[in-house]
A = this chain, B = another copy of it.
Amino acid sequence: MGQQAHFITFATRDLDAARAFYIDGLGWHPLLDVPDEIVFFQIAPGLVLGLFESAKFASDLGIPVDETNVSGSTIAHNVGSPDEVRLITEAMAGAGGTTLVAPSPGAFGGIFHAIVRDPNGIVWEIAHNPGWSIAADGSVTFG
């Protein structure tokens, strides 16, 4: 199996709340938006984020819908400075997110970060990580 992911999908209780947060609040552009079903956003080269209505997500996996609460995962967005961490955290709170960890130094590697939960429980880390970089070919290095 190749070392490659193409979609990341989260069960989503309220697609309208997701649209209000990501599209209206943060200004993102959906790749495809299927009412009452799923909203897709491209979030890296070749990678799509899917926000999939919880009952349909559960049906697809053959699990009970009450097991679709998002937990045990985070998705991170890296920026160039601690000030950008503060600005984006404010923007996410303004768009309807809940700040779980205010902008502050993290435990590892000189990171400065904040942690914000979206209206459906998806947890974003907004981080300035001075030891991390992406080369022109897309390869990631940790300093």
Contact = CB atoms under 8 A, between A and B. Distances in A.
A71 B67 contact: yes
A42 B141 CA distance: 9
Contact of A9 (B40, B57, B73): B73
Contacts of A11: 71-73
Interface string A93-106: 00000001100001
Interface string A1-43: 1111111111100000000000000111101100000001111
Contact of A5 (B32, B76, B142): B76
A113 to B, nearest CB: 9
Interface string A120-137: 010101100000101001
